[in-house]
């Protein structure tokens, strides 16, 4: 194993640890502020009415505690670390998994799409939650947020599958006599 691959794998492991810490920080912070029941961003089945109800019932807490510190900076750190982990690990395992050299740079497309969807979702959530009146939340923008949530979950799953597939292929080639 060459030094560059070792460095990439160490960085990947560090990013994985950071992802785990961000998940724990999100759960602890939500619990501390009494927002554990708010599943926005995890369950794409919310409607505009659901979104308005969450904001209206928890107006002060959502405005003062969900946007900051949960969405920004904790979830922002999470999306950067998870996207970075998926991209770095895919790049690190691309060559050992015998992915053609011309295709290896394309292994970052799925993680970048995940980051873009998650960031768009966070920005839309923050904007909607900071509107002065919960009833002023437009249905169309909540629809865009749902699309971002679905995209985020889809690309995160696809990125994890890509990374696992590359890890299995790498193990296959390393363990083969």
Indicate whether 113 belongs to any domain: yes
Q: Which secondary-structure segment (H or E) carries 4?
A: helix 3-32
40 part of a folded domain: no
* 110-163 pLDDT per residue, tens: 999 999 999 999 999 999 999 988 899 999 999 999 999 999 999 999 999 999
State which residues form the domain around 57. Answer: 3-35+46-175
Q: For the whole model, what pTM was predicted? A: 0.95
Answer yes or no: is 41 within a domain: no
Quick: pLDDT tens for 48-85: 999 999 888 878 888 789 999 999 999 999 999 999 99
Domain for residue 75, yes or no? Answer: yes
Total structural domains within the chain: 1
CA 44/CA 120 separation, integer angstroms: 14
Residue 131 placed within a domain = yes
Does 126 map to a domain?
yes
């Amino acid at each position: 194993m060459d030094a560059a691959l070792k460095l990439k794998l160490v960085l990947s492991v560090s990013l994985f640890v950071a992802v785990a810490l961000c998940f724990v920080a999100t759960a602890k912070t939500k619990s501390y502020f009494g927002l554990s029941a708010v599943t926005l961003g995890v369950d794409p089945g919310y409607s505009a009415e659901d979104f308005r109800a969450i904001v209206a019932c928890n107006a002060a807490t959502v405005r003062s505690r969900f946007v900051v510190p949960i969405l920004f900076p904790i979830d922002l750190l999470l999306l950067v670390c998870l996207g970075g982990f998926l991209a770095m690990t895919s790049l690190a395992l691309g060559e050992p998994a015998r992915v053609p050299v011309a295709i290896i740079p394309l292994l970052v497309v799925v993680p970048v799409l995940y980051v873009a969807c998650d960031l768009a979702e966070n920005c839309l959530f923050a904007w909607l939650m900071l509107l002065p009146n919960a009833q002023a939340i437009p249905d169309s923008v909540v629809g865009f947020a749902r699309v971002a949530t679905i995209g985020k979950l889809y690309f995160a799953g696809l990125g994890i599958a890509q990374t696992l597939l590359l890890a299995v292929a790498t193990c296959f080639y390393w363990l083969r006599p």
